[in-house]
A and B are shown apart, each in its own frame.
Chain A
Amino acid sequence: MRIDIENLGKSVQIGQETLTILADVSFSVNSGETVAIVGSSGSGKSTLLGLIAGLDIPSVGQVRLDGVALSDLDEDGRAALRGRSMGFVFQSFQLLPGLTALENVMLPLELAGRKDAVEVAGEHLARVGLSARARHRPTQLSGGEQQRVALARAFAVSPRILLADEPTGNLDAHTGAQIIQLMFELNRARGASLIIVTHDVALASRCGRQIHLDGGRVVAAAETP
């Protein structure tokens, strides 16, 4: 799925002041391409990711997925698009604490109305090596295991775009490396476009292209050597 980002900007009103988080961001991501968005804290990386996913609305500019502008869709339309086409991996895992690992993976499948949610979720848990932990709740899993559950959930609906926000941010280096390896393997098998927000230089260097943000603006964009 091709992603076109055109003159994207986001600002918020705090009291009398207007705070610009993102300004004049433009780039494109081709189908199957892997892109890292890097930058210091507060540079607007996560906001950009949220806008690409349609989780938030830009103040100016457009995000187009295969030519369809997200701003032309209403909130439910964007949600449906996410459900059909996107997978998510978050820094804080975003697993629902009341559900087991299996149930967390089943969630997007159930939302899609899939009757085979249990089987498909079980398969994906097996792929991330957590079949034995299927009945455990998030609090009973290590950070690495929780992120693997999140990966299984993200890939369970066969997304055409995978959006990852600091996927190794909460993990030690070794576990982080394992998760990255797993994420790239799974993505390769699916052929999805991958956009990763990260501080991690090693992770960024595994992506085909890096986009550097600073103060909400793109300061550099380059192919990874």
Chain B
Amino acid sequence: MIALAFRLLAREWRAGEMRVVLLAVALAVASLTAVRYFADRVEQALGHEANTLLAADLALVSDHPPDPEFARAAAARGLRVTRTTTFLSMVLAGERNLLTGIKAVEPGYPLRGDLRTAPTLFAADAPARGVPPPGQVWVDSRLISGLGVRPGDSVEVGNIRLRIAAILTFEGERGGNFMALAPRLLLNDADLARTGLVQPGSRVVYRLLVAGGVTENRARVAAFQAWAKPRLARGEKLEDVRDARPELRQILDRAQRYLGLAALMTVLLAAAATQLALRRYVQRQFDQFALLRCFGASQRRLFGLYLLQLGGLGLLAGALGSGLGWLAQAGMVHLLGDAIRLGLPPPSLLPPLLGLATGMLLVLAFSLPALSRLARVPALRVLRRDLGAPPAGALIAQVAGLGVVAGLLFWQAGEVRLGLIVGGGILALMLAAALAIQLLLWPLPWLAQRLPTGMRLGLLNLRRRRWETTLQAMALSLGLLALLLLTLVRGDLFESWRGQAAAGAPNRFVINIQPEQVDAVRAYLTGQRVADVTLYPMARARLTRIGARAANPDDYENERAKHLIEREFNLSSMDRLPPDNQVVAGVWSSRDGISVEAGIAQTLGIKLGDELVFDAGGLPLSGRVNSLRKVEWDSFRVNFFIVVPPDALAALPQSFITSFYLPKQRGAVLAGLVSAFPNVTVIDVEQVMSQLRGLLDRVSAAVQLIFLFSLAVGVLVLLAALYARRDERAREIGLWRTLGASRRRVMLALATEFTALGLLAGGLASGAAAGVAWLLAERVFELPHTPDPAIWLAGLGGGWLLVTGAGLLVSLKLLREAPMISLRRE
């Protein structure tokens, strides 16, 4: 039977029918595997890139020197290892001293990313080679201004004097954590013991940094992580980039959601394209099936025969699609060129296997309803073609296709919520489309009577085939929805996302501004044409009581919660909330009550109405929680976990903080500021910002390429939907011409039909796209959403243009065909 099945398949191939099915399924699989291949590699590369900010792939962080067994185990797995020791201590230069964050590093640090240094303050920087040699240190600009020293001078670090060799301008590991306020001093680990600063009881953070080879090897790192996790002692924890950087975690999560969305759209479009192609193919098989039954083949045997044929076709399409997918992703990587600077790791074997399985699944699941119809073709059809095709197949066969799509949907989404939202959106569109199309078709005959003959024919054609029109409009609106989601909605979401870390976001922070300096600092900055300068008061205080209970770190399981209770909060007050703050519960008032960031409130179990008590160096501050706020931390603006009334804050010792954007070339403004106000500290986050912007640009380039691919499949669905009725339309045009219709009249009828169909599908797709955009923005990506009227314009205009253009293009050849040939078509 297998041999027969493949012989039949080969004949079908020669006949040309299978080629159409093969192309549709292969393209579908190609898009799926290209997304998988590429997403797989991009995700690995993104992880790699993000790891440069962690300086490693994984860090073991502890408050005591970690067991050397961890380093040995990592090295034994072929991983690179280095250690850092970080603590706060006074650094002295002559009469002046400054509390400084000191970090001792071993050669090899950082394992991922670069350090950057400059020879003098505010001079151009460059990537550093290695780490400071023994006897030398690299310090940041804050230490230079704070101690009034210059490169070449020496500073006292504990028991020894070390020479300043360079200005440290960028330190990836610390980059994102710019609110760590202490200046930085980097020294060689070989000098650490001689400083005598690390003693039993010292508050020191030890990091064992671990990374794979130059091209990242996630499997080994993951194996080490799995091995180390159960062996962690108290005070030890493992950090990967997700734990280390909340703002980066948000970027990576969103990137993954975008990729998931692209893959999800591809699944749906692939399913639609497959369905349309197979429907046409199977409809053409009724005669052959009847003939084989006539020759004595049992229903069961024929069912098996066709199942084998289609399974073989699916396998072939899967293999071809996987190959195409590989080529496509290789092309995309080539196009990306230097955009992904670190180089993509090689693709894994999983995507081609998934491609093969997907090809088989798509073909078989979508051919089941048609096969169940084929199985019921009477042998008599051989003699009586007018018997027509059997009615639609069993419910279970109909559901099979939907089941496979649903399965692929959730698998591709990798996230139930995203899958449900997009899947639900599509399903809602289908139902709404069916209902809306039926309603909209109702008055067409009335309208048709008032139009010229050609247009009347076109409209009546739609109305008379209302169920076919409904199906076709649904397929078209799915294609159009994909195009809208992948162009306008994607663009809107992308802009909102990128806008949060866009050029022009604050890149300099100034802290330690004393209350009496506020006016002078503001005047200086305004005089230097620095825009958007707002100074916020800030006081440090420890949270001591939440409602009736004392705030005790031991009451919390969560390490972050323990840490938050142990540390001091920066409290502030303000007249109005900044735009990147959104009250999500309660009512904010600047005059009374305390506002808490929603995330921290959840971590610490703080609720609306709770009374919070703070201790600011012996001075108490208390108030009830009046509101919870959601804060866009990746906006890089000054933000606070806790906002209290100005009167309460005025009673505490306070300093001021501000942030603003200053182009890199205007470094002299900062030098002037430090010179005029020696006590203030300038924090330069330009490097971090440009690093994050670079990351976003790379992600957007990669994601947009994947979206482009889905877009191509969307166009394929549109064409498949128009091709689905091509045979019938050929006969129809032939008959119209035979019965006396001129080409112009036929053209007018077709143009009217396609115009109405395009507007119908475009309108429905626009409505659904607007709904899905709102859902995605509000519920999935958590971005502000403004309805975009362009969606409607593009949906209706694009629907009309695409459907009419493509429809006429598909029908043009039929129009040129002699009516005799059209009538002889089977």
Instruction: Show the binding face of A for B, using Cβ within 8 Å.
Output: 50, 53, 55-57, 75-76, 79-84, 86, 88, 90, 92-94, 96-100, 103, 107-108, 110-113, 115, 138-139, 142-143, 146, 157, 170
Contact = CB atoms under 8 A, between A and B. Distances in A.
A98 B464 contact: yes
Contacts of A143: 384, 386
Interface of B: 384-386, 388-389, 449, 452-453, 456-457, 460, 464-465, 468, 728, 731-732, 735-745, 818-821, 823
A83 B741 contact: yes
Contact of A110 (B453, B738, B744): B453
B735 A84 contact: no
Contacts of A76: 742-744
Contacts of B819: 55-56, 79
A115 B741 CA distance: 16
Contacts of A170: 386
A103 B818 contact: no
Given A55-B738, A115-B449, A94 B823 contact: yes
B740 A98 contact: no
Contacts of A90: 823
B740 A108 contact: yes
B279 to A, nearest CB: 15
A90 B738 CA distance: 11
26 contacts: A56-B818, A56-B819, A56-B820, A56-B821, A75-B737, A79-B737, A79-B741, A79-B743, A80-B742, A84-B740, A96-B731, A96-B732, A96-B735, A98-B728, A99-B464, A99-B465, A103-B460, A108-B739, A110-B456, A110-B460, A111-B741, A111-B745, A112-B453, A113-B452, A138-B386, A157-B740
Contacts of B388: 97, 139
The 4 closest A-B pairs by CB, nearest first: A83-B740, A139-B388, A76-B742, A55-B820
A123 to B, nearest CB: 18
A82 B742 CA distance: 10
B740 A111 contact: yes
Given A56-B819, A94-B735, 11 more contacts: A50-B820, A76-B742, A76-B744, A79-B743, A82-B739, A94-B738, A96-B735, A97-B388, A111-B739, A111-B741, A157-B740
A29 to B, nearest CB: 19
Contact of A55 (B452, B731, B818): B818
B818 A98 contact: no
A107 B464 CA distance: 12
B789 to A, nearest CB: 37
B449 A53 contact: no
Nearest to A108: B739
Query: Which of B449, B736, B739, B820 has most chain A Cβ within 10 Å?
Result: B739
B818 A57 contact: yes
A135 to B, nearest CB: 11
Contacts of A81: 740
Nearest to B449: A115
B741 A146 contact: no
A115 B457 CA distance: 12
Contact of A111 (B385, B449, B465, B736): B736
Contacts of B453: 110-113
Contacts of A92: 385
Nearest to B384: A143
B464 A110 contact: no
B739 A83 contact: yes
B823 A55 contact: yes
B818 A79 contact: no
A112 B452 CA distance: 11
B446 to A, nearest CB: 13
B739 A107 contact: yes
A100 B740 contact: no
Nearest to A49: B820
Nearest to A106: B460
B372 to A, nearest CB: 19
A111 B735 CA distance: 11
A41 B153 CA distance: 109
B143 to A, nearest CB: 82
Contacts of A139: 386, 388-389
A103 B820 CA distance: 22
A103 B457 CA distance: 11
A53 B739 contact: no
B823 A98 contact: no
Nearest to A146: B386
Contact of A100 (B464, B739, B742, B743): B464
Nearest to B735: A94
Contact of A79 (B460, B731, B732, B742): B742
Contacts of A138: 386
Nearest to B388: A139
B419 to A, nearest CB: 36
A79 B735 contact: no
A75 B820 CA distance: 12
A24 to B, nearest CB: 21
Contacts of B737: 55, 75, 79
Nearest to A92: B385
A7 to B, nearest CB: 20
A53 to B, nearest CB: 7
B739 A98 contact: no
Contacts of B465: 98-99
A108 B453 CA distance: 11
Contacts of B735: 94, 96, 107
A54 to B, nearest CB: 9
Contacts of B743: 75-76, 79
Contacts of B736: 107, 111
A99 B728 CA distance: 12
A192 to B, nearest CB: 15
A97 to B, nearest CB: 7
Given A75-B743, A170-B386, A53 B468 contact: no
Nearest to A50: B820
B696 to A, nearest CB: 52
Nearest to A81: B740
A101 B385 CA distance: 18
B822 to A, nearest CB: 9
A79 B740 contact: yes
A153 to B, nearest CB: 8
A170 B388 CA distance: 14
A110 B457 contact: yes
Contacts of A82: 738-740
Nearest to B468: A98
A86 B738 CA distance: 9
Given A55-B738, A83-B739, A111-B457, A94 B449 contact: no
Query: Residue among B386, B389, B743, B823 with the most chain A CB within 10 A?
Result: B386
A103 B462 CA distance: 13
A2 B731 CA distance: 29
Contact of B738 (A80, A84, A88, A99): A88
A107 B749 CA distance: 13
A12 B197 CA distance: 101
B742 to A, nearest CB: 4
A52 to B, nearest CB: 11
A174 B69 CA distance: 98
Nearest to B466: A98
B550 to A, nearest CB: 78
A155 B743 CA distance: 23
A53 B738 CA distance: 8
Residue in B449, B457, B736 whose Cβ sees the most chain A Cβ within 10 Å: B736
B392 to A, nearest CB: 13
A56 to B, nearest CB: 4
Contacts of B741: 79, 83, 111
A111 B732 CA distance: 13
A143 B386 CA distance: 7
Nearest to A104: B735
A5 B347 CA distance: 71
A66 to B, nearest CB: 16
A107 B456 CA distance: 11
B376 to A, nearest CB: 15
B823 to A, nearest CB: 6
